[in-house]
Amino acid sequence: MAKGFLALVLHAHLPFVRHPEQEDFLEERWLFEAISETYLPLLQCFNSLNEEGVNFKVTISLSPPLISMLTDPLLQDRYLNFISKMIHLCEREVERTVNQPEFNNLAIMYANKYKHDFDSFVNKYEKNLIKAFGILQQTGKVEIITCAATHGFLPLLNLTPESVRAQIAVAVQVFEKHFGSKPKGMWLPECGYIPDIEKYLLENGVDYILIESHGVLFANPRPVYGTFAPIVTPKGVVAFGRDIESSKQVWSADVGYPGDYDYRDFYRDIGHDLDFNYINPYILSDGKRINTGIKYYKITGKTQHKLPYNPVVASAKTEYHASDFLSNRLKHIDFLENNMDKPPLFVCPYDAELFGHWWYEGPEWLYNLLKKLDKIPDELKPVTPSEYINDYPIIQIASPCSSSWGANGYNEVWLNKSNDWIYSHLQKASERMVEIANDNPNAEGLVKEALNQAARELLLAQSSDWAFIMKADTMVDYAKKRTNDHLSRFTKIYYDIKEKNLDGTWLKGIQWKDNIFPDIDYKVYKSI
Amino acid sequence: MNPDYSLAKDSFSGKNIKDQIWIVPKDPYILYIYFEVSTETHSNFESVFGYYLWENSHLVLKLINLSNNTYKYLKVTPDSNSIYLNLDQPNSIIRAEIGKMISNEFYIPFAGSNVICMPNNNIIKEDYVHFENVLESRNIGKNVNTDQIYEKFKFNEVSHYLAPSSVDMFMNMEKINKD
């Protein structure tokens, strides 16, 4: 029997950004960059491990907006345009740096990488990365779970319980459609937990959730194993708490691995560094400079004078950091062994986009970690949360504490002076959605289409990303516009339904724009 | 140009349609409250009590701590519709009302809020520990048709079988003993 267990959980999510009305949309690049820098590298990492016969276990939460975007033909084709442009830029970079060997090697590396991405995306995965994750799940080594429908921050949506129910039920429907069964677990958006949501999780067959450390540590009564074992709520949902130390090793801005001086610097990018006329075809059409993804420098230190990036040295560091991560867990097990009567579980949840996008070497670190873990199954064994429940079903009953993984652990990132104005509007729209769902129990034709679109607009307005962006003070105008747009569209539909004055042409335009959740049924909003 | 903006009717107009008050915790200490007093309530108030009293009485929030059964009033400015309050009462059950304070003894509530529990901020040192086997308990009660079972319980019949009070029991015991 293993002395301890490690549950790696990655949460992959991006807000639903799809603008068919415009060819070159800055925020759509979030998806394209994440495909190249995170999702393809992660698939490659897990597929390689599988082909090498490594017995690894990873849990991945794929949010419904991400599933919707990755299966959307328009965005798939736009990704191909993006990647073709990147290949073109890399080829020019190979020529430009021909007399700068320290950069030329990197330009060749990027050119090869993007050509490989193109080939994998088109030929290996047939443009559908969700299908690729689904195939991985069939190996039993990857467990896919879901998240709320549009990543709504549930503790602040609960004023209308129907909104929480819809966020959970629609997410489960999307998951079932793509993976053929209900998800066993749910990543609560921003790990935002309040007790009121459990009923809807159970209704939808969700057995477990991931919550922040103090969600477990401040539970009532005090969990005897701290975060080193899950707890089960009085209603019956199993809650896994984040391990504090392993989170710090990866997340910490000061001591976290991604900040190592040999790793690639995120900020220095040729989109900002090179001559405008040269880089102009690869930045925004209005001439605004952006990150292209081609970066030649390493973090180097707390200095503006960066040194060239050396991928061989960085690769060796991922080996070292993977060993360090394991060694720290094993030390922790040694300490816990004398204080616990069963093997401890370390739950390590991370944003998937940390790996590759922010921490360029992250997927390689993950690959090394999982490979090393496979060599010490008697000491530390990888596990998925549902496997752990099956192996250790006797769990302490405790009520978790309301919590989130945002700054200071509660609701303040999504509720502060920069974004609090949205909640009265979201609340009003939620009440109205319930009202029109109740008023039209068996709608057909145009009314039904309008009700379904109203549900989509409300869900899109509820995305936690908009409030987060407003607080982060970057791209604020876009976040405000998205909130306003969805609420305005919802309000028009509401009045058009109430006044029996639906505009079919306008509605079609909105359906074309906001085409998320094509199978949604507005009845999910009927009164509880 | 975004044609959708012009299509919103009251979503962003600030027009108050009904009296309402909602509360949510920002963290274990700070409560966020937003509220609306409808134009209809304003008119009704003035028609009953007169314009002068509306203008010269305070709009107040009544904050009720249901955990220790205490409450306090807080004045709010007439043009505000939201406020952050540092309650410093983690783990307390809170409800709020919005109303008018006419005098020290006369308060008229317009709307009551939802009830929330402020988040906990500390480790709870409780000794009782209960475990359950979630794989077994998950199926308990799943295959029971509760609605059918409850069909058998008619309210009038149920009332006949209510548990007797302890006094009743003693009386019956006496009766039994006598018998």
Q: Which A residues, 163 through 222, put their C-beta within 8 Å of a C-beta on chain B?
A: 195, 207, 217-222
Position A270, amino acid? I
Helices (H), A404-527: 421-439, 445-461, 464-472, 476-498, 504-513
pLDDT in tens, B24-61: 999 999 999 999 999 899 999 999 999 999 999 999 99
Distance of CA A91 to the CA centre of its chain: 31
Q: Which residue of A has its CA nearest to B23?
A: A159
- The shortest C-alpha distance from A185 to chain B (Å) reads 14
pLDDT in tens, A393-411: 999 999 999 999 999 999 9
Candidates B22, B114, B124: best to mutate against A (most CBs of A within 10 A) is: B124
Under CATH, which number does the domain A415-525 receive? 1.20.1430.10
When computed from its CA atoms, the radius of gyration of chain A, rounded to whole angstroms, is: 24
Count of all residues that appear for chain B in the document: 179
* Mean pLDDT score, A53-58: 98
Phi-psi region of A240 (alpha: psi -120 to 50; beta: other; left: phi over 0): beta
pLDDT digits (tens, 9 = 90+) for A93-116: 999 999 999 999 999 999 999 999
Burial class (CB in 10 A: 0-12, 13-18, 19+), A483: buried
pLDDT in tens, A188-214: 999 999 999 999 999 999 999 999 999
A-B Cβ pairs (cutoff 8 Å, strict): 128
Q: CA B126, CA A33: separation in Å to the nearest integer?
A: 49
Q: At what angle do helices A161-179 and A129-137 cross, to 10 degrees?
A: 80
CA distance A367 to A377: 16
What is the mean predicted confidence (pLDDT) over A346-359?
96
Contact A445, A390 (CB under 8 A): no
Query: What is the band of A23 on the pLDDT scale with cuts at 50, 70, 90?
Result: confident
- State how far the Cα of A111 lies from the Cα of A32, in Å rounded to an integer: 16
| Per-residue pLDDT band at B125 (split at 50, 70, 90) | confident
pLDDT value for A254? 76
More confident residue, B139 or B45: B45
Chain B partners of A411 at a C-beta cutoff of 8 Å? Answer: 24-27
Q: Are A7 and A388 in contact (CB under 8 A)?
A: yes
Say which CATH topology domain A4-71+128-259+313-408 has: 7-stranded beta/alpha barrel (3.20.110)
Q: How many residues does chain A have?
A: 528
Residues A169 and A182 sit within 8 Å (Cβ to Cβ): no
Q: Report pLDDT for A24.
A: 83
Q: Which of B37, B120, B135 to mutate to test the interface with A (most CBs of A within 10 A)?
A: B120
Region of poorest pLDDT, from A21-30, A519-528, B153-162 = B153-162
Q: For chain A, which residues make up each domain, given as ranges?
A: 4-71+128-259+313-408, 415-525
Beta bridge partners of A18: none
Q: How far is the C-alpha of A224 from the C-alpha of A341, rounded, in Å?
A: 11
Q: Tell me the average pLDDT across A230-234.
A: 96
Say whether residue A86 is in contact with chain B using an 8 A CB cutoff.
no
Mean pLDDT of chain A: 96
CB contact under 8 A, B25 and A481: no
Contacts 24+ apart (CB under 8 A), B159-162: none
Of A159, A221, A408, which has the smallest distance from its Cβ to B128's Cβ?
A221
Strand partners, B35: B21
Q: What is the pLDDT of residue A329?
A: 97
Instruction: Mutation target for A interface from B4, B10, B131: give the one with most A CBs within 10 A.
Output: B4
Side-chain-facing half-sphere of A160: CA atoms under 13 Å: 25
- Contact at CB, A221 and B82, closer than 8 angstroms: no
Beta strands in A156-307 (DSSP E): 185-187, 208-211, 231-232, 238-241
Residues 6+ apart with CB under 8 A from A182: A172, A175, A176, A204, A205, A206
Confidence of residue A481 (pLDDT cuts 50, 70, 90): very high
Q: What is the pLDDT of residue B141?
A: 67
DSSP code string of chain B: --GGGGG-SSTTT----S-EEEEEESSSSEEEEEEE--HHHHHHHHHHH-HHHHHHSEEEEEEEETTTTEEEEEEE-TT--EEEEE---TT-EEEEEEEEEEETTEEEEEEE---EEPPP-S--------EEEHHHHTTTTTT--HHHHHHT--HHHHHHTSPPPHHHHHHHHHHHHH-
- Cβ of A316 under 8 Å from any chain B Cβ? no
pLDDT tier at B5, thresholds 50, 70, 90? very low
What is the distance, to the nearest Å, from the Cα of residue A228 to the centroid of all Cα atoms in its chain? 24
Residue B128 has a pLDDT of: 83
According to DSSP, the β-strands at B82-86 and B30-36 are: antiparallel
Touching A: B residues 6-25, CB under 8 Å: 7-12, 22, 24-25
Q: Is the pLDDT of residue A312 over 80?
A: yes
Residues of chain A with Cβ-Cβ distance to B120 below 8 Å are: 218, 220, 401-402
Distance separating alpha carbons of residues B179 and B175, to the nearest angstrom: 6
Q: Which of A207, A411, A495 has the CB atom closest to B26's CB atom?
A: A411
Cite the DSSP H helix spans in A52-142: 64-70, 73-96, 101-119, 129-137
Please give the helix or strand (H or E) that residue A12 lies within, else none.
strand A4-12
**Which of these, A175, A146, A149, lies nearest to A163 by C-alpha position?**
A149
Q: Supply the pLDDT for residue A522.
A: 98
CA neighbor of B95 nearest in space, from B117, B70, B113, B71: B113
A65-83 pLDDT, tens digit per residue, is 999 999 999 999 999 999 9
ipTM tops 0.90: yes
Q: A121 to each of A70, B31, B106, how far by Cα in Å?
A: 11, 48, 71
Q: Is the pLDDT of residue A353 over 60?
A: yes
Whether the CB of B5 is below 8 Å from some CB of chain A: the reply is: yes
Task: Calculate ∠ Cα A518-A520-A526, nearest 5°.
Answer: 160
A-chain CB neighbours of B136 within 8 Å are: 393
On the question of pLDDT at B173 being above 60, the answer is no
Which pLDDT score is estimated for A517?
98
Element (H, E) at A58: strand A58-62
Look at residue A72 and give its three-state secondary structure.
coil
Is residue A182 pLDDT above 50, yes or no?
A: yes
Name chain A contacts of B21, Cβ cutoff 8 Å: none
Structure tokens of B162? 């209510």
Residue A96: per-residue pLDDT: 97
Residue of A nearest to B36 (CA): A424
The set of residues, in sequence order, having a beta carbon less than 8 Å from that of A298 and lying 6+ positions away, is: A261, A262, A263, A264, A265, A306, A307, A308, A309, A310, A314
A129 touches chain B (CB under 8 A): no
The interface residues of chain A toward chain B in range 371-390, judged by CB-CB distance below 8 A, are 389-390
Q: How many CB atoms lie within 10 A of CB A397?
A: 19
What is the rounded distance in angstroms from the CA atom of residue A9 to the CA atom of residue A360?
A: 18
Cβ-Cβ contacts under 8 Å, B26 against chain A = 410-412, 415-416
Locate the chain B residue with the closest alpha carbon to A390: B135
Judge whether A169 and A520 are in contact, CB under 8 Å: no
Residues of A within 8 A of B134 (CB-CB) are: 207, 232, 236, 238, 389, 393-395
Q: What are phi and psi of A355, to 5 degrees?
A: -85, 105
Query: Does the pLDDT value for residue B11 go beyond 90?
Result: no
Give the percent of chain B with pLDDT over 90: 57
Give me the mean pLDDT over the A5-30 stretch: 95
Which residues have C-beta within 8 Å of that of residue A351, sequence separation ≥ 6? A10, A11, A13
Q: Is B138 on the interface with A (CB under 8 A)?
A: yes
Interface of B with A in 66-95 (CB under 8 A): 81-82
A429 vs B contacts (CB less than 8 Å): 11
Comparing C-alpha atoms, which of A119, A134, A158, A114 is closest to residue A47? A134
Write down the pLDDT at residue A435.
97
Angle at A12 between CA A8 and CA A14, to 5 degrees: 160
Amino acid letter at A65? P
Q: What percent of chain A has pLDDT over 90?
A: 95
Question: Is the CB of A489 less than 8 angstroms away from the CB of B137?
Answer: no
Q: Does residue B129 sit at the A interface (CB-CB below 8 Å)?
A: yes
Mean pLDDT value of segment A439-457: 98
Q: How confident is the model at residue B145 (pLDDT cuts 50, 70, 90)?
A: confident
- What ranges make up the beta strands (E) of A252-387? 345-351, 380-382
